[in-house]
Structure 1
Amino acid sequence: MKARIFGVLSAGALLAACSDTGAGYTPVLDGAPTAAFQSDLSSCQTLARDQRQFDQETAGAAILGAGAGALLGAADDDGSALGGAIAGVLAGGVAGATNAADRRKAIVIECLRGRGHHVVG
């Protein structure tokens, strides 16, 4: 039981560590950066980092994954609803964190483009 609780806590810590991923992205530019690039990059990264609704969506995905995993685990022959819930939390949380990171990265790119920088990707 303690190993399962440790696994859930470890997964939660891993997801929390990933919550800032994407906001720290430094894109590739077409040409030399302008004098304002570093300042604009910092502002755009802060903007992306401040989008906390992505963190809420990641938590929601983890909860849905836990529910689905628990149902599937209970329906399995060994009836391990807890094991299924843990697997579901991991799967849902990782998927949500990946989606949030991609969206934060897109914010950085679009913000820099909006400020006149020639961002390739």
Structure 2
Amino acid sequence: MKPMLIAPVALTALLGACADMGANVDPILDGQPTAQFQSELSACRSLARNQSQLDHETMAAAAMGAGIGGILGKVDDEGNALGGAAIGALAGAAAGASEASDTRETIVLNCLRGRGHAVVN
């Protein structure tokens, strides 16, 4: 398979695999959960899942990774710019998806805190 085709397929698979990351956090509570905790946890997770994984920051990280990878691939005697760009784009997208996952986890925890739950992490 050519590098130009591999990159979009791998990027789609990567982002699909990360679709629920962060939103499925299991918060630690200081004390016993209230009667409405499970329904509010579900609502907070839903709110976090609605945050796009493929946002502007993830796209920018993928583009920056592609640029750096392309330059490094061109400089390497045995590499090529296209292959380097594809690998760089995947690395950048992975970094962006990881950041989006952290953001989703923060959304869940802050949402629960905002609803009055004593969330430790």
* TM score, norm. by length of structure 2: 0.87
How many residues align structurally?
Answer: 119
Deviant stretches of 4+, over 3 Å? 3-7
CA distance in 1, matches of 2:88, 2:61: 9
Q: For 1:48 and 1:4, how far apart are their aligned partners in 2?
A: 33
What secondary structure does 1:105 align onto?
A: helix
**Structure 2: unaligned runs, 5 residues or longer:** none
Does the aligned pair in 1 maintain the 2:69–2:84 contact within 8 Å?
yes
Q: Is the 8 A contact 2:71 2:81 kept in 1?
A: yes
Give structure 1 stretches of 5+ with no counterpart: none
How far, CA to CA, are the matches of 1:4 and 1:80 in structure 2?
A: 10
Aligned with 1:26: secondary structure?
Answer: coil
The Cα shift of 1:6 comes to: 5.9
In terms of fraction of residues, the more helix-rich structure is 1
Q: Is the 8 A contact 2:24 2:45 kept in 1?
A: yes
Give the structure 1 partner of residue 109 of structure 2. 109
**Share of identical aligned residues, percent?**
54
TM-score, normalised relative to structure 1: 0.87
Which letter does structure 2 place at the counterpart of 1:86? A
State whether structure 2 residue 92 is matched by structure 1 residue 58.
no
